[in-house]
Structure formats: structure tokens, C-alpha cells
A and B are shown apart, each in its own frame.
Chain A
Amino acid sequence: MAKSGTLILNAAARLLLPLQLLFSLFLLLRGHDEPGGGFIAGLVAAAAFALYLFAFGRRPLSRMLAVSPRDLVAMGLLLGVGSTLPAWWVGEPFFTAQWWTIPIIDFKASTVLIFDIGVYLVVVGSVLTAITALVKTDQHEDER
């Protein structure tokens, strides 16, 4: 699985990646009211990165990501656990959802959204961890 993309694949990956990522963010944010949500959005983003990986290989991908997928998993877990805590602050039971409205843009912010972002990061991170690990061992095999 070295850098062996064809021209069409390379061009498509380059063009599709931002679109797919944008779409995944769209799915993530609208998920509470329309079909979507952190899990689905995470899968879309992971698929986008996988396409990029196929086209350009592992090193360009990790250079673009700048963080290790395993750190994404850890960040997601932290957000998930962290979103349970604000309820304690206002004296409600653990995990009670908290809602705030951000005034000017009239945006519903909530611990639920933070939690969903946590799900998103865990999904992206887990899938990418598995895929890049597989690619890496492939490369070992190739160099043999």
C-alpha cells in the first residue's frame, strides 16, 4: 500500500476530502434534530480519511492529521466523560444534560453536543487507528 494512487484517484481524493469532512461536520451538528449524529458523522469522516490514505499513503495522511488517531480516541473519551460533569456543578445528578443558548447566533449549546463530539472523535480515532495499523504492517510485509 505504498504511494500508489492513480491520477484519477489522487485528484478525486484531493477534491472529495474537504467536501466529505464538511458533510460530516454538517451531519454532526444537525444530528440532534435530523438524521445524523456523532456516530454517523464519525464514520463519514473516517471514510474520507481512508480514501485519502488509499490515494497518498500513510505518511502524507499522518502529516495532514498532525495528531495521532489514538490521541483522537483519548480526546473523545475525555470530552465524553467531561460532558457528564457540569450537571454536578449545578447540583443535579451525574450526566443530566445541560442546555445553554448562545445569544447572538441563537445556537443551542449543550453538554449533549459536547458528548456527541466525543463520540465523533472516538469513532474517527478508532477506525483510523485500525486502518493505519493495518497499512503499517502491510508496509513491513512489502519491504520484506
Chain B
Amino acid sequence: MQLAVLGGFAMASLAPLLHQWFGARTPRVMALLPAAIAVWLLGQWPVIAAGEVLLLEWAWVPGLDITLTFLIDGLSWLFALLITVIGALVLVYSGEYLRGHRDLPRFLVVITAFMMSMLGLVLADNLVTLFVFWELTSITSYLLIGFNHTDPAARKAALQGLFVTVGGGLALLAGFVMLAGAGDSWSLAELVQRGETLRGHALYTPLLLCVLVGAFTKSAQFPFHFWLPNAMAAPTPVSAYLHSATMVKAGIYLLARLHPALGGTELWVITLSLVGALTMATGAFLAIRHTNIKTLLAYSTVMALGTLTLLLGLGTPQALTAFVVFLLAHSLYKGALFMVAGILDHETGTKDVTAMGGLRRAMPRTAAVACVAALSLAGLPPLLGFVGKEAMLASVLAAEAWRPLILLLAFTAAFLTLAVAAIVALRPFFGAPRETPTSPHEAPSAMLAGPALLAALSLVFGLAPGLLDPLVAATLAGIGAPAAGVHLALWHGLNLPLALSLLSLALGLLTYRYWDRLRARLACLAPIMARGPEAGYEALMAGMVAVAGWQTRLLQNGHIRNYLAMTLLVLVGLVGHALFFRHTFTLDVDLDVYLHEAVVAGLMVAGAVAACVMRSRLAAVAALGTMGFSIALTFVLFSAPDLAITQLLVETLTVILLVLVLFRLPRFATLSTPLERLRDLAVAVLTGGLITLLMLSVLSGERLPRISDYMVANSQPLGHGHNIVNVILVDFRALDTLGEMFVLALAATGVYAMLRFHARDHAAARPAPPRESDDG
């Protein structure tokens, strides 16, 4: 299985090559992989149905206890099956939708990579592995939303989706680290066994909140819901796949997976119920304000995700059963509806439902599929959506906390969703025909096969929900609910949920009837809507850019003296703090200085002072040279021949470089004011003084064991060398040296690039640039 997922990534990278071989048939060829995985999963069904858990282990990073272990139980089996089946259908569909598109290979690369990331996410047992796949889905989603990268709106939406989900991902990572610490394991299979310990742990609240932020951003819960409708800038197959059936359900999956470990507490129940109910109502309400069919569907997805969160929050066996049914029902009908929306867009050239009408004559089969799927969305019998909605209403009626509020929100969402379903299915296909940008005709069968299959499944499972009993039972086992005695039925007799359904049907149809007028009325709410969470996101982004600009202007101002002053002051601050506050500063040295040492030191000082006050550049350079050679002399006096040689050679090369540079510099001029020079002097004195104090303090007592003793003792036995300096450089501290090598190489590249571009600029300014062919 791991090989299948990794192989999928490999296949994704080969998509352009496959496209050269198979041309327009590539998507169908590539759909074979998810189809094969789906068949394999179906083959495992007897094991899963028996309630067993498959653990497929493969050590990935053994040193860090990270394994690529796949955990297949009812829950991940259901998700994996949805991902692979809908994935295969979407691939076939996209081959038609993007037929002849220049960037079809790129699309196939990213969507296959996404598919495998999503599969890895729901199958992963290790938290780190799960997180890696989680982030991979965010990145691939970013690439897919921004697929039409020439459109600024698509780029903006892609970035927004990325920032929101990756921001949540950071919180999730923190939550995972705490979770692993509290549960003393990185394995989900083990963590779900330790619910008692986790719920009683001191870190439970921060841990849960972090995980929830991660899940809520990914699954577009209020107040993070705004990125999902904007993500509709993606091509429609992407919307059908990522933004309704799979990726947005990743957060839901995570919550369901962690339900046995973290669920059931007051915090969990109240947060999830309220956020879920709010999301439901917000999504449904925002949906009816729009006329773009994809936006309508996107908001209704937000509503469905809220429902799923709410049901997980309630956590009763009844609610969890409703959760599973609703999850399956939503994936089936929403996938189908999005693909229908894509067909409409493809055939009519518009996405505005008010611009379409009477299309059932031109495309009867599409109309039939749309109607079946929309009936399921509306929650009408005899479709699976009805079973899901009834179960949802029944569990809300049994809610323990905040029942009236949650019921009100859920009921509002239910009737508004019904109106959305009516708008999506009735508006385009019935009524008087309208002129559309392109003349509509029936969709090709490759595009219709996917939605038709999904809609048919909605119908079959709706008529005979008993077929799903074993699947629901197996999934419930994964969520940690008692699985015995699950019986789904279409007809529960006359009861309160049914009465509520009838009432919502009436209200929903009324809403549909007066939709145009209602929309006009709601238009006056626009100024309030403009201050929603999205405005907060915009403000946050603008603020970040402003802070970045401010600190860049402050720190990266292009004056080397400012960089130097900043670096030195930070050094003084940190070293000074450590020297005077973290340790007790002692000064206890008896200096016995020989005359020749004093002379060398005096030379150094004289060189430094002279370099500062000289009025000629050549003299300043010579003064600096005096200082450098005095330092080399010091190394010789204190028997460090390697350092002395290095210092001498560096001085020599400095002279060479200066000779090369000297004639190219402008005339020596004083650019700084006396005040600035005074400031620079203060910085220099401060730094020099502090370092001197540090050295004296180090000498005045053996505070720490000397590291050089180890080097001296082990240079020959371990490093096989007598030259300790060299053994340190190339063996003991070789990693540091390797880093230095890269620094040196980068510096050389920088010098080369700067001078070369400088020269080219000069050359461009001249009429006939003499080209330099070789660059030795």
C-alpha cells in the first residue's frame, strides 16, 4: 500500500511523459491507479467488516521514531475508498473538461500528487507522517486553485487558501507535539487507546485548541470559512474533488479520528457543536446571496462541513451514525453537483444560474443527474441525503447543551439548503430557455459518467439504506462509538424530525419562489458582510506587509556602517548580558608583559588609530596592513604557526585585492557628519572594551573545563594527525568547515555576479559592447 502511494507520486511526476505517449487519453490511463487501489480496498472489505484493524508498517526515519505506518480501519477505509473512487472519476472527467488545454500535463501532475497526499493523510498512523501529508495537500491545493495563474483573482484565492490552511497547519503541528507528549506516543492507534490519560492531562486544553484550529481552517469552519468560496477560482474538477469531496474533509477526518482520544469533554462538545452550528447557518445564509453556481455550491459545502462538525461535537451514538451517513451522502451528491456545474459552465459558457434556463431540452441526461443529486442535497426522500438529514435533526433534538440555539441554526441551515438545491437544479434546467454565450448541447459521456454514477449511488443507498449498515458499523468502530445495532431506514414513521423536514420543505420552497426579491433585499447587508472574517484576513495580510516593509527599511538600509553598528550592538548586548548578569564578573589577572609583547600590541593600536585618522586611502590601507602583520606576529609569539601563516597569507591577498580595487574607487571623501563619527566611535569603544573585559574575565579563573584539552589528547589517537588545528578543521569540526566552504563559494558567486552585472550594465550603456566570450 505504501508502495502504491509512493508509486502514485512517481506517476504524478511522469504525467508529462505519459501525456506524450497517450495524448488526450492520459487522464483515463492515469485513472487506472486510483481505480486499482479502490479495488484493493474493496478486497479488504471482509477484514474491515469483521472489525479488524490493518497496520501496515514500514520504518521511514527509524532514528526519530517516524514510521510510514498505514492504519486501515472502517474510518480510514471509507475515506480512502471515497478518495480513490471519486479521484478516478474526476480524472476521467477532467480529461474531457480540460481537453486540449495547454497545461493539462501540469494539471495531471498536481492532481495526482494531491490524490496520493490525501490518501496518505487518511491512512497515516504516525502523527508526523499525517502532518507531512496534511501539508502536502495544502500545497497541492494551492497549485490547483492557482491553476489559471494568469488570472490575478485565482492567484489571490490560491494564496489565501494556502495562508489560512498552512497557518492552521502550524497550530496543528504544535497540537500534535503536545498530543504526542501527553499520550507518550506518535502512533494514532496507540493514542486512541489512551483517551482517559489524554483528557485528564494538564495540557489537554491547549492541545485540543491547537488541533481544532488546524482542523477548522482545513475544513473551512466559521470564522475561517471564507477561503473555500474563493477557492472556486480553481477548474471545476478541482472544486468537485478537493473542495467538496476530499481535502476539506481532512479536518473532519482528523476530528473523527481523534474523537476517541480527545472527544466527549465539555470543551469538545460545546466548541464543536457551536462552531459547527454557526458554520452551518453562515454557509447556508451566505449561499443564497450568490448567483454563481460554483459559489452557491461552495457555501453549501461550508454548511455541510459545519453539520459534520456539529454531529461530531454532539458525540452521541445517534449523532455519530448521522455523521457517517451525512459524510457519505455529501461526498456523493456534492461531487456529482460540482461535476454538473462544470458541465453547465463548459456547455453554456456561463456560471451564473440566473443567466440559464430551460436547458433540460438541450441536455436531458445532465438535467436528470442534476435533479437526483439536488434532491439528495435538499434532503428529500428517497435519497441518501434524506436519511442523513433526518438522522441529523433527530440528534440535534437530543442535544444536551445549548439545544434551542443549535436547533434554530440547524433548522435555518436545512431550509436554506433546500432553497439552494432548488436554485441549482431548477433554475438552469426548467423555465423558459435563455440565450447563453455558447449554444448548449448534451455533455460527452466521459463527463457525464462520474456524476451519473455518484447520483445513482445516492439513489440506491437512499432506497435501501440497510445496505450501508455494515459500513456504518465498521466506520463507527473507528470513531470509537458502540457499533452494535445500527439500522438505517428511509422511513421512521411520523415523528418530530419528519415534521421539521416538512416545515423546512415549505419554507425552502418559499425562499426559492421569492429568491430574486430576497437577494435584492439582502443586498443592503453588503456593507456589514464586507466587515466579515475575510476583512480581518485582509487586514492581517496588509499589516504583515507593512511591518515587513518597516523592518526592512530599518534593518536593510544598504549602508554597511549601519549593518556593522547593528551587528556589533547586538553582540555587545548579548555578550554583555551574559557576562554581567548570568555569571558573576570577576577580574583577577596579574599581567606579566614582556617588552616585545608590549611593542607588538602598541603597533597594533597605532595601526588601528592611524587607519581611522589618515586622510589618504593608501595610507589607511598601509596602516591596516601594519595592524594585520602585528597580529600575525602575535600568533608567532604565542606559538600558533598555522594561524600566523594564515594571517600573513590573508594580508598578502588583501593587498592584491586592494591593488585591483583601489583605482576604481571614487576620490577619498568624508561622507559622515562629526556626530555620526562620534556615534561610530562610541560603538567601537563599547565593542572593543567589552571584548577586552570578556577576555580578561575568561583568563581570571578556570570556569569551564578547557575544550582544548580534549583536542590535544585525542588529536593523534582519533584523528591520526599531529597538527591539532588541522585535525579540528577537517575531522572534529568538519561539518563546520563544510559550512564555511559553502559560505566561501557563495561569497565568490556573489562577487562574481555583482561585478559581472555591473560590467554588463556599463556595457549596455555603451553603443558597441565588446563581448567577453570566455569567463575564466
Q: A43 at interface (Cβ–Cβ under 8 A)?
A: yes
In the complex, A32→B734 CA distance in Å? 13
Q: A50-B656, A126-B748, A130-B657 are in contact. Are A32 and B738 (CB under 8 A)?
A: no
Is residue B681 contacting chain A, with contact meaning CB distance below 8 A? no
Find the B residue at minimum CB distance from A30. Answer: B723
Q: Is the CB of A46 within 8 A of B726?
A: no
Nearest Cβ in chain B — how far from A29, in angstroms? 11
Given A43-B649, A123-B744, A126-B748; A140-B776 close (CB under 8 Å)? no
For the complex formed, measure the closest distance between the CB of A82 and the CB atoms of chain B, giving whole angstroms.
Answer: 11
**Interchain CA distance A54-B756 in the complex, whole Å:** 20
A112 interface neighbour in B641, B730, B762, Cβ under 8 Å: B730
Mark contacts of A31-75 with chain B using CB atoms, 8 A cut-off: 1 yes-contact digit, 0 otherwise: 111111111100110110010001000100111010111100110
- The number of A-B residue pairs with CB atoms under 8 Å apart is 164
Q: How far is the CB of A144 from chain B (nearest CB, A)?
A: 8
Q: Please tell me which one of the listed residues A37, A44, A73, A134 contacts residue B723 in the complex, with CB atoms under 8 A apart.
A: A37
- Evaluate contact between B657 and A37: CB separation under 8 angstroms: no
B735 in the interface, Cβ–Cβ < 8 Å? yes
Q: Are A73 and B748 in contact (CB under 8 A)?
A: yes
Interface centre among B657, B719, B734, B749 (most CB of A within 10 A): B734
Stretch at the interface among A2-10, A11-19, A114-122: A114-122
Whether B729 sits at the interface, judged by CB under 8 Å, is yes
Contact A32 B721 (CB under 8 A): yes
Min C-beta distance of A58 to chain B, whole Å: 8
B578: CB under 8 A from chain A? Answer: no
Is B589 interfacial (CB-CB < 8 Å)? no
Chain A residue at minimal CB-CB distance from B735: A95
Q: Which 5 A-B pairs have the closest CB atoms?
A: A62-B776, A126-B748, A43-B649, A32-B721, A33-B722
The minimal Cβ–Cβ distance linking B288 to chain A, given in whole angstroms, is 60
Q: Is A22 an interface residue (CB 8 A)?
A: no
Pick from B646, B745, B776 the residue with the most CB of A within 10 Å: B776
B: residues with CB less than 8 A from A are: 641-642, 645-646, 649-650, 652-653, 656-657, 660-661, 663-664, 719-723, 725-727, 729-731, 734-735, 737-738, 741-742, 744-745, 747-749, 751-752, 755-756, 758-759, 762-763, 766, 770, 772, 774-776
Cβ contact within 8 Å between B720 and A99: yes
How many angstroms between the C-alpha atoms of A38 and B723 in the bound complex? 13
Q: How far is the CA of A74 from the CA of B746 in the complex (A)?
A: 11
In the complex with contacts A43-B646, A68-B775, A73-B745, A33-B731 CB distance below 8 A? no
* A77 & B731 in contact (Cβ 8 Å cutoff): no
Cα distance, A16 to B523, chains bound together (Å): 87
A86 to B646, CA, bound (A): 30
B662 CB to closest chain A CB (Å) equals 11
Interface size class of A (residues with CB under 8 A): 35 or more
Which residues of B have CB within 8 Å of A76?
A: 741, 745
Q: How far, in angstroms, from A67 to B758 measured CA to CA in the complex? A: 24
A131 close to B656 (CB less than 8 A): yes
The minimal Cβ–Cβ distance linking B450 to chain A, given in whole angstroms, is 48
Alpha-carbon distance between A116 and B738 when the two chains are bound, in angstroms: 10
The answer to whether A40 touches B731, judged by C-beta atoms less than 8 angstroms apart, is no
Taken residue by residue from 127 to 144, chain A's Cβ proximity to chain B (1 for < 8 Å, 0 otherwise) reads as: 101111111111011011
B721 proximity list for chain A (CB < 8 A): 32-33, 112
Beta-carbon contact of B646 and A40 below 8 Å: yes
Further 15 A-B residue pairs, CB within 8 A, beyond A47-B649, A110-B720, A140-B763: A32-B721, A37-B726, A40-B646, A43-B653, A50-B656, A65-B776, A80-B737, A97-B734, A99-B720, A115-B730, A126-B748, A129-B751, A133-B751, A133-B752, A143-B770
Q: Is the interface of A mostly helix, strand, loop or mixed?
A: helix
Instruction: Contacts A1-B660, A37-B730, A39-B729 given; indicate if A119 touches B646 (C-beta within 8 A).
Output: no
The distance in angstroms between the C-alpha atoms of A76 and B756, with both chains bound, is 23
- The CA of A54 and the CA of B659, in the complex, are separated in Å by 10
Q: How far is the CB of A81 from chain B (nearest CB, A)?
A: 7
A35, A54, A118: the one within 8 Å of B641 (CB) = A35
Measured CA separation A76–B657 after assembly (Å):
22
Q: What are 12 inter-chain pairs, A to B, with CB distance below 8 A? A: A32-B727, A37-B730, A38-B729, A39-B729, A40-B646, A46-B653, A70-B748, A97-B720, A112-B721, A119-B729, A133-B752, A138-B660
When chains A and B are docked, how far (Å) is the Cα of A68 from the Cα of B239? Answer: 52
Contact A135/B660 with A35-B645, A77-B745, A116-B730 known, Cβ cut-off 8 Å:
yes
Q: CA of A46 to CA of B663 in the docked complex: distance in angstroms?
A: 22
Q: Is the CB of A140 within 8 A of B762?
A: yes
The answer to whether A31 touches B723, judged by C-beta atoms less than 8 angstroms apart, is yes
Given contacts A36-B642, A40-B642, A68-B776, contact A134 B741 (CB under 8 A): no
A47 touches B656 (CB 8 A): yes
Contacts of A35 in B (CB 8 A): 641-642, 645, 723, 725
Residues of B within 8 A of A136 (CB): 755-756, 759, 772
B542 CB to nearest chain A CB (Å)? 42
Partner of A97 from the list B731, B755, B759 (CB cut-off 8 Å) is B731
Chain A proximity of B636: nearest CB distance (Å) = 11
| Chain B residues closer than 8 Å to A131, beta-carbon distance | 656-657, 660
Q: Which of B661, B741, B744 has the most chain A CB within a 10 Å cutoff?
A: B741
Residues 76-120 of A at the B interface (beta carbon under 8 Å): 76-77, 80-81, 84, 95, 97, 99, 108, 110, 112, 115-116, 118-119
Q: Which residue of A lies closest to B753 (CB)?
A: A133
Q: Among A1, A108, A140, point to the contact of B759 (Cβ < 8 A).
A: A140
A50 to B650, CA, bound (A): 13
User: Quick check: B774 and A62 within 8 Å, CB to CB?
Assistant: yes
Contacts of B756 in A (CB 8 A): 133, 136
| A77 lies within 8 A of B742 (CB) | yes
Contacting residues, chain B, for A118 (C-beta < 8 A)? 741
In the complex formed, the residue of A with least CB distance to B744 is A126
* Chain B residue contacts of A119, Cβ below 8 A: 729-730, 737, 741
